[in-house]
Structure 1
Amino acid sequence: MHLSRRRLRTFAAVLFSLALSLPAAAAPPAPAAGPRATVDQVAAAIDRNFYDPERAARLAAQLRSETGSGRYDAYADPRDLATALSQRLSQEDKHFRVEWRDPARFPPPDARERGAPDADYADAARRGNYGVRTLQTLPGNLGYLDLRELPDLDFADAADPARRALDASLALLAGSDAIILDLRGNGGGSPASVGYLVSAFTPRDAPIYNVFRWREGGRLRSQSEAPAQWYAQPRLEVPLYVLISARTGSAAEALAYTLQAARRATVIGERSGGAANPGDEFAAGAGFRVFVATGSPTNPITGGNWEGRGVQPDVDAEPAQALNVARERALQRILAAGGKGTGALEARWALETLRAQAAPVAMVAADYLGQYERMRIDEQGGQLVLRDGRRPPQTLIALQPDLFCLSDDPRLRLRFERGADGRVAALQTQRADGGGSRYRR
């Protein structure tokens, strides 16, 4: 069983779909219903829709009690009331949030043209490239995908652009010797993407997918996060690393949590946001809307989820350093596999370059400056640069005394040769495939 399309949405996905409708600057608030009437409608929306009926009733009663004591009476500005309610409710569930939009400028959904919200979402998803921010091959043949949103997928549509974007990304990673999936800036999205991406790295029908208990129309149901269609050519053995941070939320957390629980990926970074429960927005009158978690996942391996706790990384790292930590571990694993030939040498050179960048090797720049036939070594901004005719200059990284590589391509090394007098006399370029050239000074 799989999750129905758009039945469950994370709050990040709702924000994404509303991005086009936000005003460029804050406008003076329009008159709204009194705080007590608003809080009562928020409480009613929670009571009707929150995934746990007992907690829903208890929370709704608490809100009404707080209202009766005058806790929210001072919030004359509807924006301040929305913020206060969001802060109050987030203590109960990380997805709770109350928003206010001037109804004179932003009509409620039932007053808009039918289908407009989905059209807004589709356009925002397209302009965001369906979450794909960066896709590249890092030195050592490491595939890197920076994914900022988990897009909604329509498995019934063979030409669904979101699925085609994910498929294209996975296809371009197919030749990588290790893969790094960067979710540090991913606030969530659709559970459909979670199941589909998990299936790209795990055996078909593996019992690893979160099962959602959700509430609709007063009834409780359950559904699996397993995809409606499985990725056709999963990579079951490729080393996989997932980067997370405190900004990683919701469906992005589900992706990291599922792969980690299945022991399929190494999670690197800091503890994630801790928002497990997806849901939807509900009207609360006078321009107010409240996001309520209508579902909650349970992982079949851990028996729990990450709500309030976040995904705990396997390897702690500052977010800014998480990528380099993953790169080093991936390269070490590639080398530990015992491969030979050019690929193995490129991986070793990439690892040595990464370590040299972290701990620069001391060198005397003046020793190397000068002309080497058509090549020239200059100093620029405290770094050595290689100039080759009209080509753009390339910065060098010192690996050892007299041994350097290009900062953007560790596959090419430069070894400086010294004469009997100890002075540098020649420059030799070296490639991992054994080729190279020598230039006299």
Structure 2
Amino acid sequence: MTTPTKLAPAPVIDETIRLLTEHYVFPETAEQVTGVLRRRLAEGAYDVDDAEELARLVTADLQSVNNDRHLRLKHHAEPIRAEKGAATLDAMRREFDASLGGAPRVQLLDGGVAVVELAPMLFPLDWAAEPLSAALTLASRAQALIVDLRTNRGGDPDTVAFVCSHLLDERTHLNTMYWRDGDRREQSWSQPHVPGARFGGTKPLYVLTSDTTFSAAEELAYDLQQLGRATVVGEPTRGGAHPCNGWTLHPHLEATIPVGRAINPVSLTNWEGTGVRPDVPCPATDALNHAHTLALTSLKE
């Protein structure tokens, strides 16, 4: 039997403070958050023996200043490797294998309307390009397309661009990322060529969202909405626009620190805090039926 690793809250908090100070995309906010953590540590608020409870307490304090939902101390039930980002990659790989590479459903509805569900994540492109290309190529023959992101929790911005490339006709500026490291900006564009067939930029396109839709999945919905390419149907999304990195602080604890922020070339802002606002608001459970009806109406017209 493996002996549980003893939890020492102070070193976890000290390392979280260091990471915030060095990497958080908003240095001024980092200073405020570290002040909260130091005060709470001195008060004994983190004097707990359970790693999951510590993660809950610290996450609440990390998000108390600006409600950045990417800023977290995450608990992992299984021990995690010490390499930077290892915890996230290990968990993603298990989900990738269990979800047909992130495209668990391709379905043809009445009237020539296809549904492609992308869930539970937009996995790293070097993993996901083949299954996503297969799903989108199969759906490319449809008269209208519904992309279901209602249970998608985020993922890789490069995969966002890959999916958009199948849904547009021309190379298009999708998003710009500002990175604190080096004070630099990096543009994201759709690709001029895709493997397989392209659904293209003219046929009716609908994107389904819920209050679970998060991060890179929000970017996919937001980019297509801002370009006027898709109609978003469903609920407002969670509101996380800051890409983050993960650091292992304890065998069961990972700090995720946002290191950049998105800047959309159309709106010149992003969906942080507000979420993506649907063009056709409705309960997430009704979104597929609503989008199907909209698609059929559009095709008749």
Distance across 1 between alignment mates of 2:192 and 2:288: 31
Asked if 1:220 corresponds to 2:194, the answer is: no
66, 70, 82: which one pairs with 1:95? 70
The percent of aligned pairs where both chains have the same amino acid is 31
Contact 2:241 2:261 in 1 (8 A): yes
Which consecutive residues of structure 2, in runs of 5 or more, have no partner in the other structure?
Answer: none
Amino acid corresponding to residue 143 of structure 2 in structure 1: D
Aligned to 1:86: 59
Contact 1:192 1:227 in 2 (8 A): no
Distance across 2 between alignment mates of 1:306 and 1:261: 11
Trace 1:28-427 onto structure 2 (pairs within 5 A).
30-33=5-8, 35-73=9-47, 75-91=48-64, 92-100=67-75, 106=79, 108-110=81-83, 121-122=92-93, 124-148=95-119, 149-154=121-126, 162-207=128-173, 209-216=174-181, 219-227=182-190, 230-231=193-194, 233=198, 235-285=200-250, 287-336=252-301
SS of the residue 2:105 aligns to: strand
Distance across 2 between alignment mates of 1:38 and 1:123: 27
- Deviation string, structure 1 residues 154-209 (Cα, Å, up to 9, x no partner): 3xxxxxx52111111111112111100010111111111101111222242323x1
Contact 1:249 1:274 in 2 (8 A): yes
Deviation at 1:61, TM superposition (A): 2.7
Aligned to 1:342: none
Amino acid corresponding to residue 71 of structure 2 in structure 1: F
Distance across 2 between alignment mates of 1:180 and 1:132: 13
Q: Aligned in 2, Cα 1:247/1:76: closer, same or farther, shift over 3 Å?
A: same
Contact 1:247 1:272 in 2 (8 A): yes
Deviation at 1:28, TM superposition (A): 9.1
Structure (1/2) with the larger helix percentage: 2
Deviation at 1:118, TM superposition (A): 5.5
Greater radius of gyration (CA): 1
SS of the residue 1:109 aligns to: coil
Aligned to 1:399: none
Deviation at 1:280, TM superposition (A): 1.4
Contact 2:113 2:144 in 1 (8 A): yes
SS of the residue 2:183 aligns to: strand
Q: Aligned in 2, Cα 1:143/1:296: closer, same or farther, shift over 3 Å?
A: same
Trace 1:5-24 onto structure 2 (pairs within 5 A).
none
Contact 2:234 2:284 in 1 (8 A): yes
Q: Aligned in 2, Cα 1:309/1:140: closer, same or farther, shift over 3 Å?
A: same
Distance across 2 between alignment mates of 1:120 and 1:310: 25
Q: Aligned in 2, Cα 1:227/1:177: closer, same or farther, shift over 3 Å?
A: closer
Distance across 2 between alignment mates of 1:325 and 1:36: 51
Amino acid corresponding to residue 217 of structure 2 in structure 1: A
Amino acid corresponding to residue 215 of structure 2 in structure 1: S
Which consecutive residues of structure 1, in runs of 5 or more, have no partner in the other structure?
Answer: 1-26, 155-160, 337-441
Amino acid corresponding to residue 73 of structure 2 in structure 1: V
Count of aligned pairs? 294
SS of the residue 1:284 aligns to: strand
Distance across 1 between alignment mates of 2:3 and 2:75: 12
- Deviation string, structure 1 residues 313-351 (Cα, Å, up to 9, x no partner): 000111111111001110000001xxxxxxxxxxxxxxx
What TM-score comes out, normalization by structure 1 length?
0.62
Higher relative contact order (Cα pairs below 8 Å, separated by 6+ residues): 2
Amino acid corresponding to residue 138 of structure 1 in structure 2: L
Distance across 2 between alignment mates of 1:286 and 1:145: 37
Amino acid corresponding to residue 213 of structure 1 in structure 2: Y
What TM-score comes out, normalization by structure 2 length?
0.88
Contact 2:81 2:87 in 1 (8 A): no
Distance across 2 between alignment mates of 1:308 and 1:116: 26
What CA RMSD, in Å, does the superposition of the two structures yield over aligned residues? Answer: 2.6
Aligned to 1:383: none
Q: Aligned in 2, Cα 1:293/1:228: closer, same or farther, shift over 3 Å?
A: farther
SS of the residue 1:55 aligns to: helix
